[in-house]
Amino acid sequence: MATVSVKCPVVWLILWICVRLSETENNRVSMDDDVLLPYTDGHGPSHSHRHVRDCQPIIHGNTTHERWAASKHGGLPVAESTVFISKQGSSRWVYGHMTVVHDPLRTVSVLEPGGPGGCGMNQRATVVETAEAAGCLYAQNAGFFNTKTDQCLGNVVSDGRMVQDSGGVQNAQFGIRRDGTLVFGYLSQDDVSSNQTNPFVQLVSGVVWLLRNGEVYINESLEAECNKTQETGHFRKFVDVVSARTAVGHDADGKLILFHIDGQTERRGMSLWEVADFLKSYGVINAINLDGGGSSTYVADGSLASYPSDHCDMDDRWRCARRVSTILCVHPRRCRPTNCSGHGDCVDGRCRCHEGWQGAACDSLLCQPPACGAHGVCTARGCACDAGWRGESCNQECLPGFHGDGCNRTCGCVNGTSCDPVHGRCACPPGFHGDTCERGIVPRHTTQHTVVCPLGFFGPSCTQECRCDDQCSCDPQTGSCNATLRGESNDTLHRAGRCLATQMFREQPHLTERTWLAITFTLASLLSVSLLVHLAQACCGSAAAAARLPKRRDYSYVPLNDINRAGAGAGRSEKGGFGPDDLDSEEEIWTPSHSGRDPDVVQARSRTRTRLCPVMPESRGLVTACEASCDWPSHSPNRLARGDVTAPISCSELHNNNKRRSSRRGERGGGNGPKTQSCDSR
């Protein structure tokens, strides 16, 4: 435990020291104390491009910049860097780097600080940071920047992308056009922003055109670019003062020259005059000056290779590299686009196209329309023919028995049927159907096992429906309704009908034997109970009726129609007796209107007999229950005629009257008088 407790503090101490050392290394910030600016306020002269053109020597005419074809030397190495020490004057030595780039178009780029978007965000980064992120072999600082806002100054075009333009400010420019032309000098606004001519793929602004066509051009630059004084003095002092310098130029072969020397303003380094002479002595044709002073930095293989002039912020005994604006980066050859349009491999900056592709960017097919005609399209492997077509130019249909893309699929049709060359569908002859025409009529001279078209259909592929009466089947080939089905078809119908019938009967609900017995027993029980109830009600009703009736008397039913007629005849008789002859008529019914007598007597008529029931004078209503016994007050027609409605008549009297009436009818020849019954029969 003691050993572990001792080791833990040691480990934490080592970690803390490592973190502090890492923070110290990352926090080495330049104090920006070696400032060398050409202008004290703003950047660049205020005059126009026309002023520059008018002030230049007549020998140059109206051209304010120089073009030179860039070297396109392939192979390795991409660039060569040389360290030099040169004596300037009697006792001053300078230390610097000169880098020769053999293929500027494909190996040199202008990069924004920290990567794409750095100028737009007004940020700065050291040359090491930007170069390491971009994989630069060699790099040095390039354009100027605003020391107060960190804004990039001048024109900036990076790998063909316009980052910003200077708005026509006339300072010395360096650029590379798309065709590989190197450009040095002064450019108008149209030269920078016009895309109709060959645009720039790389462009950066400097100050002072050092060499023009192999001659020192500083004095002309002073007149063209001078505007105001700068922080280290007048514009001329910016040119004359010794300091760290950075420049870019080219030689007669079109190779790009990157120049850098260490120094410190007014103490060591070179003036622009000395830089121009030095470059001229090394065969440089055109060159411009870039940002210098504390910004002058050179990086090789991602490491700082120069001695900065700015002091470090944390310890002024050390020198730190300054965060700068744009840089010039020398990188391995790159293809444009870097992935060769996805159809090639980038080898030493050149796209090696895959099979079927061509062009510098491998973006064009070898096969070009209309090579494939109307039935194919061009691909990397040549013509891709539509389904059903073949040949190098897709101008031939598939052979019989084949179909599909490339005519590689075999038709599966039988019975000598051909298929569609595009989709492979079988074109069945009349009487055959199915995906492969395997179903159809069996020829009599063959034994092939097939079946006819589905019942009710005929014709090619069995797609036409029969139009026979009663939905009868037709001939599967011709569609004729005068056709006799073959034995196999009849068997098919028989089996289908039997199956359908079986299913229909199975679907109907049925009851078991036990269920039927239960239902029968229940119904019998209900009938028995109903019979018993009716018998009980009949017995009870008879007893109650007997209890309500008075002493039994004989009575008989008298046809009331006869009584009515008798009453009518009594009106014509003097004695008021019954008129038997008049009682045979069933058409005339006695009513109060016929008698002209008491309206209190009303008629109750039934289908066979009609009874007259007495009604009390005060009620004057219809008697609906004329089913009382015979000892009701009966009404003799004579009595009714006299209005004596309350005089009773006995049952015996009624019986005698019925006998007399029957005998009289017999005498008249009828003998079919109404039958009589005793009073005790209802």
Residue 665 has pLDDT above 50, yes or no: yes
Q: What's the pTM value of the predicted model, to 2 decimals?
A: 0.55
- pLDDT for 384 equals 86
Contact 309, 319 (CB under 8 A): yes
Q: Is the dihedral of CA 410, 412, 385, 389 positive or negative?
A: positive
- pLDDT for 431 equals 67
Residues 56, 50: Cα–Cα separation, whole Å: 10
Residue 622 has pLDDT above 70, yes or no: no
- pLDDT for 217 equals 95
Residues 618, 198: Cα–Cα separation, whole Å: 137
Q: Return the higher-pLDDT residue of 491 and 626.
A: 491
3-state DSSP call for residue 51? helix
- pLDDT for 316 equals 81
- pLDDT for 653 equals 65
- pLDDT for 248 equals 97
Tokens read off for 389: 């077509």
Q: What is the DSSP letter of 428?
A: P
Average pLDDT over residues 124-140: 95
Q: Which residues pair with 378 in a beta bridge?
A: 383
Per-residue buried b or exposed e for 460-487, using 16+ beta carbons within 10 Å of the residue's own CB? ebbebebebeeeebbbbbebeeebebee
Residue reference for tokens 């075009």: 157
Contacts of 46 (CB under 8 A, 6+ apart): 227
pLDDT class for 575, splitting at 50, 70, 90? Answer: very low
Residues 138, 510: Cα–Cα separation, whole Å: 101
**Angle value at C-alpha 679, between 677 and 682, nearest 5 degrees:** 75
Tokens read off for 361: 């960017």
Residue 485 has pLDDT above 70, yes or no: no
Tokens read off for 480: 């004729």
Q: Return the higher-pLDDT residue of 298 and 477.
A: 298
Residue 259 has pLDDT above 70, yes or no: yes
**Angle value at C-alpha 215, between 211 and 218, nearest 5 degrees:** 55
The per-residue pLDDT of the chain, averaged, comes to 76
Other CB atoms within 10 Å distance of the CB of residue 512: 8
pLDDT in tens, 588-613: 444 444 444 444 444 434 333 444 44
Q: What is the DSSP letter of 340?
A: G
Peptide bond into 308 cis (omega under 30): no
Residues 273, 93: Cα–Cα separation, whole Å: 16
Tokens read off for 82: 């040389």
**From 3-17, 21-35, 247-261, 362-376, the region with the lowest mean pLDDT:** 3-17
CA distances from 411 to 124, 130, 429, 440, 553 (A): 71, 65, 16, 18, 114
Residues 458, 480: Cα–Cα separation, whole Å: 9
pLDDT class for 79, splitting at 50, 70, 90? Answer: very high
pLDDT class for 350, splitting at 50, 70, 90? Answer: confident
**From 162-176, 247-261, 323-337, 566-580, the region with the lowest mean pLDDT:** 566-580
Long-range Cβ contact pairs of 82-90 (< 8 A, separation 24 or more): 86/278, 88/270, 88/274
Tokens read off for 519: 């239902």
The ranges of the chain annotated as CATH 2.10.25.10 are 336-365
CA 558 distance to own-chain centroid? 101
First to last CA, the chain: 135
- pLDDT for 317 equals 86
Indicate the CATH number of 336-365 among 3.20.10.10, 2.10.25.10, 2.120.10.30, 2.60.120.260.
2.10.25.10
Share of the chain above pLDDT 70, in %: 68
Residues 64, 284: Cα–Cα separation, whole Å: 19
Contacts of 44 (CB under 8 A, 6+ apart): 153, 154, 166, 169, 170, 171, 207, 225, 227
pLDDT in tens, 510-546: 678 888 899 999 999 999 999 999 888 888 877 776 6
Residue reference for tokens 């104090």: 31
Helix, strand and coil content of the chain, in percent to the nearest 5, comes to: 30, 20, 50
**Angle value at C-alpha 93, between 91 and 99, nearest 5 degrees:** 160
Residues 545/550/555/561 CA torsion (nearest 10 deg): -70
Residue 1 has pLDDT above 70, yes or no: no
pLDDT in tens, 426-475: 877 776 777 777 776 544 444 444 445 677 777 776 778 888 877 777 87
Q: Return the higher-pLDDT residue of 285 and 662.
A: 285
Residues 629, 554: Cα–Cα separation, whole Å: 9
Residue reference for tokens 């926090």: 27
pLDDT in tens, 388-412: 888 888 888 888 888 888 788 888 7
- pLDDT for 60 equals 87
Q: Exposed (0-12), middle (13-18) or buried (19+): which is 303, by Cβ within 10 Å? A: exposed
pLDDT class for 625, splitting at 50, 70, 90? Answer: very low
Residues 49, 502: Cα–Cα separation, whole Å: 106
Residues 307, 94: Cα–Cα separation, whole Å: 11
Residues 285, 203: Cα–Cα separation, whole Å: 18
Contact 555, 680 (CB under 8 A): yes
- pLDDT for 326 equals 96
Average pLDDT over residues 78-96: 89
Residues 411, 435: Cα–Cα separation, whole Å: 11
Contacts of 646 (CB under 8 A, 6+ apart): 614, 633
Q: Which residues pair with 184 in a beta bridge?
A: 66, 174
pLDDT class for 121, splitting at 50, 70, 90? Answer: very high
- pLDDT for 262 equals 95
Residue reference for tokens 């005498």: 667
Task: Name the CA radius of gyration of the chain, rounded.
Answer: 67
Q: Return the higher-pLDDT residue of 603 and 665.
A: 665
**What are the φ and ψ backbone dihedral angles of 88, each rounded to 5 degrees?**
-115, 120
pLDDT in tens, 300-322: 999 999 999 999 988 888 999 99
CATH class of the domain whose range is 367-427: mainly beta
Residue 578 has pLDDT above 50, yes or no: no
The ranges of the chain annotated as CATH 2.170.300.10 are 367-427
Residues 171, 205: Cα–Cα separation, whole Å: 7
For residue 98, give the nearest of 300, 307, 332, 301 by alpha carbon. Answer: 300
Residue 626 has pLDDT above 50, yes or no: no
- pLDDT for 503 equals 67
